């Protein structure tokens, strides 16, 4: 049996155990944690008190799914496994290697690491500066050296496919940090190695900034050049304090729903005709059901609705279940700021035009009609007039601010051609979707029953 401790700050949350013979996982909350005033469950699927009817197999599946959702994906996972000297399927080995700096509040250490909640032996966290010149050098060396590995350590423990590292930013300087009092506060995303995706940092910056411009709660971003374009994303699960960095616990949509990473798309088994009807993965109706666990359900329901509409307007067909997160504490779930938003059509890289999660039964904008918008409202238990009002309002706001927004983006070093292509696509989508507005509210619940 292998055991790992799971910490939130200096508090021991519980112990993760793995039986290699049975390949079974378990997680037990620490007794002091259950008495702690600020305690929280890891996720709705791992409550503080284990359900009496839950079998060992069911519990193991939920535990594995929760912790696997903390790991990177794709090639980034391969690099992490290689650097750690383990395999990509060895969850325990990967958590030992990269679990000290995860998304949210949690840190994972070996159970016999008694110094885990303390700072380094010198009494302070170790900082290693990354200069723009060094960052540029590492970006150019990625064919020979994985970007996520620095100083022999994996510096990536955030889900997703893109190259990225997490750094601590202080006085406009970037640092790799080792210790417990400090933590990363910024995610660094360089341009991808694939040439067709060279505009991705600027594209994502525009989507994130446009979201903030029209009133969505979205993570702060900056576009810098070292001289290669790099997107800096301010972490919303970190709060800087006088004595360090406070980590906030968050769960993504898959963790909150108890779904494996492989189920982040609604059509998790593919879009081909023989499996297109299998919609077992993350979906908007499932995500809206989580809002019932919010202490402010009306606020979060509106926020999630505006998030879903905005993905359509910017053409983000890759808005899947891991691109929505919730703060998780003793009060329940609260919708977290938006992140990882991209205008996929503007990339011109041959990506699918299929939505990661359907609006009603529509998996593409071509199939999106007033009926499907109303159907979406029915499935997500939203008033049709609210869906109509928010679609009209958001599309109208985007159209109204676009000219000034475009000038601002070009002033922030977004290439003019990239900005103009973004403007063309988004304005066309907004115009098409506003044509549906008047008819959406005309439908009745009985039309879908």
pLDDT digit string (tens) for 205-223? Answer: 999 999 999 999 999 999 9
Q: What is the pLDDT of residue 182?
A: 84
Least confident of 125-129, 305-309, 338-342: 125-129
Question: What are the sequence ranges of the domains in the chain?
Answer: 2-110, 126-241, 248-448
Considering only residues 116 and 58, tell me which one the structure prediction assigns the higher pLDDT.
58
pLDDT digit string (tens) for 284-335? Answer: 999 999 999 999 999 999 999 999 999 999 999 999 999 999 999 989 999 9
Phi/psi for 288 (5° steps) reads -65, -30
Q: Are strands 165-170 and 173-178 parallel, antiparallel or unpaired?
A: antiparallel
Rounded to two decimals, what is the model's pTM?
0.93
73 close to 323: Cβ distance less than 8 angstroms: no
6 close to 14: Cβ distance less than 8 angstroms: yes
Considering only residues 90 and 394, tell me which one the structure prediction assigns the higher pLDDT.
394
Strands (E), 238-291: 238-241, 244-247, 250-252
Q: Read off the pLDDT of each residue in 265-288 and give the average, rounded to a whole number.
A: 95
Q: What is the pLDDT of residue 159?
A: 57
Q: At what angle do helices 56-68 and 91-98 cross, to 10 degrees?
A: 40
pLDDT of 125 strictly over 70? no
pLDDT of 118 strictly over 80? no
Q: What is the pLDDT of residue 124?
A: 57
Q: Read off the pLDDT of each residue in 360-382 and give the average, rounded to a whole number.
A: 97
Q: Read off the pLDDT of each residue in 145-165 and give the average, rounded to a whole number.
A: 74
Supply the DSSP symbol for 359: B
Kindly indicate whether the domain formed by 248-448 is annotated with CATH number 1.10.1070: yes
Q: What is the pLDDT of residue 396?
A: 98
Q: Read off the pLDDT of each residue in 237-252 and give the average, rounded to a whole number.
A: 91
pLDDT of 428 strictly over 50? yes
Q: What is the pLDDT of residue 157?
A: 61
d(Cα 197, Cα 200) in Å, to the nearest integer?
A: 5
Using a pLDDT cut of 90, give the percent of the chain over it.
Answer: 73
Q: Read off the pLDDT of each residue in 60-70 and give the average, rounded to a whole number.
A: 95
Q: What is the pLDDT of residue 119?
A: 44
pLDDT digit string (tens) for 374-397? Answer: 999 999 999 999 999 999 999 999
Query: What length is written for the chain?
Result: 449
Phi/psi for 281 (5° steps) reads -85, -165
Using a pLDDT cut of 70, give the percent of the chain over it.
Answer: 95
Spatial strand order in the sheet of 332-335: 250-252, 325-329, 332-335
pLDDT digit string (tens) for 223-240? Answer: 999 999 999 999 999 999
- Looking from the CA of 141 toward its CB, the CA atoms found within 13 Å total 12
């Amino acid at each position: 049996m292998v055991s790992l401790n799971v910490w939130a700050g200096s508090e021991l949350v519980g112990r993760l155990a793995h039986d290699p013979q049975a390949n079974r996982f378990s997680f037990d909350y620490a007794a002091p944690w259950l008495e702690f005033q600020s305690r929280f469950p890891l996720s709705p699927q791992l409550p503080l008190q284990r359900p009496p009817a839950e079998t060992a197999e069911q519990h193991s599946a939920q535990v594995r799914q929760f912790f696997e959702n903390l790991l990177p994906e794709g090639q980034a996972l391969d690099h992490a496994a290689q650097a750690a000297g383990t395999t990509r399927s060895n969850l325990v080995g990967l958590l030992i290697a990269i679990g000290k700096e995860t998304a949210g509040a949690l840190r994972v250490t070996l159970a016999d690491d008694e110094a885990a909640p303390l700072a380094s032996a010198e009494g302070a966290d170790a900082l290693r500066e990354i200069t723009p010149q060094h960052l540029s050098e590492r970006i150019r060396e990625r064919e020979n050296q994985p970007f996520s590995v620095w100083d022999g350590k994996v510096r990536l423990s955030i889900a997703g496919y893109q190259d990225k590292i997490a750094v601590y930013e202080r006085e406009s300087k970037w640092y790799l940090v080792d210790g417990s009092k400090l933590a990363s506060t910024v995610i660094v995303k360089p341009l991808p190695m694939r040439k067709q995706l060279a505009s991705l940092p600027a594209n994502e910056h525009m989507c994130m900034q446009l979201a903030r411009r029209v009133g969505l709660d979205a993570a702060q971003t900056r576009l810098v050049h070292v001289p290669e374009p790099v997107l800096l994303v301010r972490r919303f699960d970190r709060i800087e304090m006088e004595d360090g960095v406070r980590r906030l616990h968050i769960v993504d949509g898959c963790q909150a729903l108890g779904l494996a990473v492989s189920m982040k798309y609604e059509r998790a088994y593919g879009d081909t005709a023989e499996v297109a009807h299998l919609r077992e993965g993350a979906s908007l109706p499932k995500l809206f059901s989580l809002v019932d666990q919010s202490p402010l359900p009306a606020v979060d329901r509106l926020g999630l609705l505006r998030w879903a509409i905005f993905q359509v307007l910017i053409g983000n067909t890759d808005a899947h279940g891991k691109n929505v997160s919730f703060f998780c504490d003793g009060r329940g779930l609260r919708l977290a700021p938006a992140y990882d938003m991209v205008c996929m059509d503007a990339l011109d890289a041959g990506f699918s035009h299929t939505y990661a999660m359907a609006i009603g039964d529509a998996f593409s904008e071509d199939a999106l009609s007033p009926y499907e918008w109303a159907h979406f409202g029915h499935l997500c238990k939203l008033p049709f007039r609210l869906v109509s009002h928010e679609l009209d309002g958001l599309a109208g706001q985007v159209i109204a601010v676009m000219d000034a927004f475009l000038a601002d983006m070009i002033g922030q070093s977004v290439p003019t051609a990239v900005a103009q292509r973004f403007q063309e696509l988004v304005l066309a989508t907004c115009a098409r979707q506003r044509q549906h507005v008047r008819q959406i509210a005309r439908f009745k619940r009985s039309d879908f029953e």
